[in-house]
Amino acid sequence: MSGEPRQTSAPELKAQIEAERRGRPFLVFRDGEGEQRILIVEAGTAELWVGRGEAAGLRLDWDGEVSTLHAQLEVVGGECTLLDDGLSRNGSFVGEERVHGRRRLRDGETLRFGRTRVLYRRPGGGGGAPEETAIASETPVGATISPGQRRVLIALCRPFKDGSAFATPPTNQAIAAELHLSVDAVKTHMRALFERLDLEDLPQNRKRVALAQKALQTGVVGPREL
């Protein structure tokens, strides 16, 4: 599924059927050598990064048109949503329609990152039109933050839980260690959060404190979450 479509062989079809029997969403694609690969979205997975970098769960390191961290799959129960907030240079596509923001996936849809096509399968999840969440100006900020971004934001805000004016926000390295993420993933979430809360134009040395303070003041992060 990288480059030109190729007919599925009998052994490859058998592997897909075996993956389907597990009852979990899974992704089917071809690597740089044209060999079929299947990635099961295991129970308990909350997010799955797509990209060429080592932090990516769906790593497409042979495709030069894929960014280091290209896009993200959010997983809630048996549902997967593709999230592309403009991180990638060349965009992410579902059925050759470019994704802006979020796109809930349905069984049998073909995703494309760079030159690589990825088949999304969700056993028992066919039917229904895919839904795309439009981020309108009146939408509450908290509703536009992904689960992964929220975890990073809560970790950033934690030193401020007692209302101290002298609290210092944790570094990206500290947040990465606490949440078991890569530093690159934390940086990506932080950039998205600065944009979500309209802080991207602040000087770099003020952004982190301003982000924590605004998140707490506006109720995006509540005291109970800290």
User: Could you read off the pLDDT of 38-91 as tens digits, one per residue?
Assistant: 999 998 888 999 999 998 999 999 999 999 999 999 988 778 999 887 778 899
28, 117: one domain: yes
Note the pLDDT of residue 80: 92
With cut-offs at 50, 70 and 90, classify the pLDDT of residue 6.
low
What is the distance between the alpha carbons of residues 10 and 36, in angstroms, rounded to a whole number? 12
Task: Confirm if 87 and 71 have CB atoms less than 8 A apart.
Answer: yes
What is the distance between the alpha carbons of residues 86 and 224, in angstroms, rounded to a whole number? 32
Asked whether residue 15 is domain-assigned, the answer is yes
Pinpoint the alpha helices (H) of the chain: 10-21, 147-157, 172-179, 183-196, 204-217
Instruction: Indicate if the alpha-carbon torsion angle 48, 50, 54, 57 is positive or negative.
Output: positive
118, 45: one domain: yes
Count how many domains the chain has: 2
80-107 burial string, b = 16+ CB within 10 Å, else e? bbbbbbebbebbbbbeeeebeebbbbbb
123, 28: one domain: yes
Asked whether residue 4 is domain-assigned, the answer is no
Q: Which amino acid is residue 52, in one-letter code?
A: R
Asked whether residue 71 is domain-assigned, the answer is yes
Mark which of 92, 108, 133 sits at the end of a domain.
133
Mark which of 133, 158, 191 sits at the end of a domain.
133
Mark which of 104, 133, 162 sits at the end of a domain.
133
Asked whether residue 225 is domain-assigned, the answer is no
90, 192: one domain: no
What is the domain range of residue 26?
Answer: 10-133
129, 156: one domain: no
126, 17: one domain: yes
Note the pLDDT of residue 154: 92
Strands (E), the chain: 26-30, 36-40, 47-51, 58-59, 71-76, 79-84, 92-94, 97-98, 101-104, 110-113, 116-121, 132-133
Q: Which helix (H) or strand (E) holds 142?
A: none
**CATH number of domain containing 91:** 2.60.200.20
Q: What is the pLDDT of residues 17-39, one digit of tens each?
A: 999 999 999 999 999 999 999 99
Assigned token pair, 129: 């039109």
Would the pTM count as exceeding 0.75?
no
What is the distance between the alpha carbons of residues 149 and 118, in angstroms, rounded to a whole number? 25
